[in-house]
Structure 1
Amino acid sequence: MESDVGTPIKKAKLDSAMAATSPPKQICTSLNTFEDHRQPHMAYVDKTALVAEMVSPSAEKGYFVNRPPKFGKTILLDTIATYFKGDREAFRGLAIYDMQMPWEEFPIIRFSMSELNVCDVDQFEASLCSLVVEEAKRHDVCLMSPNSSDSTLLFAFLIEDVYYKKHEKGVVILIDEYDSPILECLNKENAELGKEIEEILASFYEALTSSSSKGYVRFRYVTGITRLAKDTIGSSLNNLSSIDETSPQLASSCGFTRDEILSTFGPELSEFSRKAKKFEVEAMKDIEEKYNGYNWHLFGDKAGLVFNPYAILCVFKCMVLGAYSSEE
């Protein structure tokens, strides 16, 4: 009889069985750094094989991903940042560690746009300029116009200055929650301010595109909740590859797949099944039905479902199929 041990379904079952014999890990829903997740007692889903595909010198030089809140965007961004620090030992035991990768350090410019002040246009522009200036201080570079109130100009100077300070080494630029200021305005029902801020950000992100065309940038990764519209900001970032549109193999880089849940949370699934007085297969089916799952490419194929990691972590932390909101 031909064995089907090598099939994805059998592999997932074997991984689940092996994981179930391992001691349970600590479940935390509030960690956003790669280092925190890599502590020996913490549960961690290894996404580094996908990271290797993204950061390979032969791959695309820039990606954009939009996902719902608390879907693992920030932790993936931090994982990418750790790779570009050239710290191979930080990945010991993970898939990328044994891959043929260039472990080289690159200068990194990193922004979290959720930190910006959106009270009014002037304060927003000032906080955006301040964000750039602080990043310049971190890299120990003196901007050509440090007192400028033009955030786009400052950003362009920052990229260029860091590039030349690091001996013409390409800069890695990571922008988390690119649309956070706009969404905050919409939540406050101030669409007019949101539109003005959107125009400022469109100009700001244009500096990233122009710097890339000059050869200053090694890699770009931008995250958000909303898709890039074709006008304004979308036109400024149109040279980024949308993971959903151009790289379907990377669609599960954020979130947990069914196989990852089975292989990583074996002890937790066993305990959840015991408390629910069900077989593990039935318990897993309940989890899938309760939290549905997103499918960006493999329409109609359950193997392509990606689940919100926050909800899954809450299930195994509380051992209850609750109404876990990603806004908590």
Structure 2
Amino acid sequence: MDFDFSRKIPIGVQSFEVMRNDKFLYVDKTPFLFKLAHSNRVYFLSRPRRFGKSLFLSTLKAYFLGQKELFKGLYIEKAEEKRAEIEKTEAWVEYPVLYMDFNTKYYKDTEALLTIINLHLDDWEKLYNLSKTSGEIEDRFKAVISALYQKTGKQVVILVDEYDKPLLQTMGINEALNEEFRNTLKAFYSVTKTCDQYIRFAFLTGVTKFSKVSIFSDLNNLQDISML
């Protein structure tokens, strides 16, 4: 097989949009993505860092935002059209997407974690022109999801990158703070269960295996695909 030297090698590229628009070499992962998007609805993936988790989340984000032009020539381009034809539904539906990245911050205390989560909530309210909410983070999260569904008539997509970064920074170092982080994140992530009727798809990534972390104990709808 001839190598296409016109394609750049994507070293460190984590944005699917950049990957496609700047013509980087891309190994088509959309058959797997398409299968996930139309099977179960809530997934967890554990992989070491730099194993492509962020790029895969970015690809999911582009798909659920209906950015068809980015998938030209890939498996999913025709698969999505065929699915819509068979199901007699619209292809490339744009869903409201809530994307969170915990990877880039240092979490020195619970206040720092709450600040980051609240900033995400603020950003989503601004992005989708929702009414400003206040209160506990889990209550705000519920309100945002519900408001988005009521406003758009579409279920919400939730994407979380490196869910466990706050836990890894404190594990074995400050167990009391680690426990506070666990309780905070457990309350926050449990919203994906209580708001199940408003959620089209959810995908969480991390380094640690979720079965070892009690924050997901309430999410019996979560499918672990780490071994696939």
TM-score (norm 1): 0.63
- Shift of the 234–85 alpha-carbon distance from structure 1 to 2, 3 Å rule, reads same
For the pair 1:195 / 2:179, whether they are aligned, the reply is yes
1:221 is aligned to 203
Q: 1:165 to 1:25 in 2, by over 3 A?
A: same
Aligned-residue offset at 1:114: 2.4
Aligned match of 1:208: 192
Q: Could you tell me which of 108, 125, 137 is aligned with 1:136?
A: 125
Q: Does 1:51 align with 2:16?
A: no
> Is the 8 Å Cα contact of residues 21 and 70 (structure 2) preserved in structure 1?
no
CA distance in 2, matches of 1:177, 1:78: 13
Cα pair distance change 1:132/1:43, threshold 3 Å: same
Q: Tell me how far 1:126 sits from its aligned partner.
A: 2.9
Shift of 1:125: 1.9
Contact 1:65 1:243 in 2 (8 A): yes
Map 1:109-258 → 2, pairs under 5 A: 109-116=98-105, 118-143=107-132, 146-148=133-135, 150-167=136-153, 169-186=154-171, 189-212=173-196, 215-229=197-211, 232-244=214-226, 251=228
Alignment of 1:61 onto 2:41: yes
Gapped regions of structure 2 (runs ≥ 5): 84-90
Deviations 1:45-67 (A, max 9, x none): 110111111112xx111111000
Provide the rounded CA distance (Å) in 2 between the counterparts of 1:224 and 1:184: 13
User: Over aligned residue pairs, what C-alpha RMSD do you find?
Assistant: 1.9
- Partners of 1:141 and 1:204 in 2: CA distance: 19
Judged with a 3 Å threshold, the aligned counterparts in structure 2 of structure 1 residues 236 and 130 are, in CA distance, closer, same or farther, namely: farther
**2:48 and 2:160 mapped to 1: Cα distance?**
16
After superposing on structure 2, the runs of 4+ consecutive aligned residues of structure 1 that deviate more than 3 Å are: none
Q: Does the CA contact (< 8 Å) of 2:42 and 2:202 recur in 1? A: yes
- CA change 1:151–1:85 in 2 (3 A) is same
Residue 34 (structure 1) aligned to one of 4, 16, 27 = 16
Unaligned stretches of 5+ in structure 1? Answer: 1-16, 246-250, 252-328
C-alpha spacing 1:91/1:207, structure 2 compared with 1 (3 Å)? same
Q: For residues 53-84 of structure 1, what are the alpha-carbon distances to aligned partners after superposition, in whole Å with 9 as ceiling and x for unaligned? A: 1112xx11111100000111111111111111
Give yes or no for contact 1:112–1:176 (8 Å, CA) kept in 2: yes
How high is the TM-score relative to the length of structure 2?
0.88
CA deviation profile, 1:150-197 (whole Å, cap 9, x unmatched): 111111111111111112x1111111111111112238x223211211
TM-superposed CA distance for 1:24, in Å, is 5.3
Bigger radius of gyration: 1
How big is the shift at 1:239?
1.3
